[in-house]
A and B are shown apart, each in its own frame.
Chain A
């Protein structure tokens, strides 16, 4: 997939700085940029990868993207036994940064994590955004494999992305062990019954070309969470924030700022005064 053009694509996240925070016995790495109301982002099963959406969001708010303990270069996480437990750990990490209330975003595997976080601490979460969430899992396509998702699954247009750097076998094995231990069933009754009661304003973003968290999930989330809004992101696959950063940022910001009132257009259609 890597070619000369891809190498020339600017890597996102250059304004993000790296830090660590101690929480629940873990030393947790995070990337941060921007100032204003905090937006916490939990990554998916492919690990912490910033997209241009992170950059664009950080122009107007304080964006903090955590690396889940057990992912990337962090030591293997053999301790966490469930998503709910991981949610409690990450809530402690946010508190350790002195942040009480925040907007919360999670994609894919991180979508299930943030759903649990919102269930555990609804009073702290101002708005919840589920990006290609795996809180409910549909059967995988036959060719998806079990090593994690490559660029053809993550992106509708892999050729427009910076070179995809595969993780080492060791990292993948470590991450897969954690994911398979804690991710829970495809339909998680305990989580779903809690989501049905959740009053946090929620936005679900689904890519029209996503073969994992497919568009049909829109109906399922709407039926499950009466307060949630579902938006299809056209011509985007699983990593929809990387595929359509301007479109994703625009709808996310509108929702974060105006909550359900984002349904009503505020921008002018006037051509000439």
Chain B
């Protein structure tokens, strides 16, 4: 199994973590600089500790994550992270210019010598307010964007695009990805519609902001669909994201996490603006499995419950290894994307190092 280290570039100063968009009235440039420096240090530590990937993601208008353009962070990581792959999980393609996404990913792949892994995402519901895109069109836009990006990476001659949502007269991106024909592609496959699209197009599966029980069913659906489309995904084509905090003592690790609010905010980004979430839900954004999809985004709880739900790895290396095996057995995933939602200063750095030293070598053998 592989491990990825996901830092959201959380703003470290005082700010609202319960509203969206979050007002900038408490914003301090000094805090922002410090927060970005902290993120770079954690990524550097993760690389040195042996993490296989480092992960960046796109979120907007919130101190939870200061990487509205994850490509910028990914580009800066090229010289900070010397060895690990750079997982851009990902650009929210339905709200972006897909040609620009193809160009930027190709740039980072070239700058990093072919170390990019890509997750093409629809984004959380609130992101549709960001650039004023109708969430009802999210899935159709996603599917078209995916085709544009892939065509941009594979055609060698200029081509135009006569789509439903996108129209280009001439596209021919420079640079092209180093990886031939393009970097490995993943997408979020929480919903049945997404699972089927991923299976049909041989795209890797990703699960985040969920529980291992819910994700297991979705992963099985994805595998069944892959089988229908005549292929079997490799374990590394299934990625599961959850929190992680490792310490020398189980009780200490749990207490650390509890003191940091359970390792994740009480309210996820999607539900920090209930009017927005409700309007997006009414648009049909969630698809035919709406109740499940909304439910998983609201699944919060105490640390013990979060361990049981597979939302966090917490404890000593031995304890965490058991938790990893359980998740792997339930889900069949080959990559864990480990989020550092909780920022505990030196303890977080220690957690990264300890995981690298005591967990990663054994995880690689699983």
Contact = CB atoms under 8 A, between A and B. Distances in A.
B362 interface: no
B275 interface: no
Contacts of B163: 234-235, 247
A222 B158 CA distance: 8
A215 B162 contact: no
A230 B162 contact: no
Nearest to B165: A234
A205 B166 CA distance: 16
Interface string B153-166: 00111111111101
Nearest to B144: A234
A105 B251 CA distance: 75
The main secondary structure of chain A at its interface with chain B is mixed
A197 to B, nearest CB: 19
Interface residues of A, number: 24
B102 to A, nearest CB: 14
B157 A250 contact: no
Interface residues of B, number: 17
A263 B169 CA distance: 5
Interface centre among A218, A230, A232, A263 (most CB of B within 10 A): A232
A122 B217 CA distance: 61
Given A232-B162, A247-B162, A247-B163, A263 B157 contact: no
A106 B160 CA distance: 19
Contacts of B162: 205, 231-234, 244, 247-248, 250-251
Interface string A201-239: 000010010000001101100110000011111110000
Contacts of B26: none
B193 to A, nearest CB: 16
Interface string B218-258: 00000000000000000000000000000000000000000
A265 B156 contact: no
The main secondary structure of chain B at its interface with chain A is mixed
Nearest to A251: B162
A214 to B, nearest CB: 11
Contact of B164 (A222, A232, A234): A234
A244 B166 CA distance: 14
A223 B170 contact: no
A262 interface: yes
Contacts of B144: 234-235
Given A263-B169, A265-B169, A229 B160 contact: yes
Give 7 closest A-B pairs by Cβ, nearest first. A222-B157, A231-B160, A234-B163, A219-B157, A247-B162, A263-B169, A233-B162
Given A208-B147, A222-B159, 19 more contacts: A205-B162, A215-B151, A215-B155, A218-B155, A218-B159, A219-B156, A222-B158, A229-B169, A229-B170, A230-B157, A230-B159, A231-B160, A231-B161, A232-B161, A232-B162, A248-B162, A250-B162, A251-B162, A264-B169
8 contacts: A208-B147, A208-B151, A229-B169, A232-B151, A232-B160, A234-B162, A247-B164, A250-B162
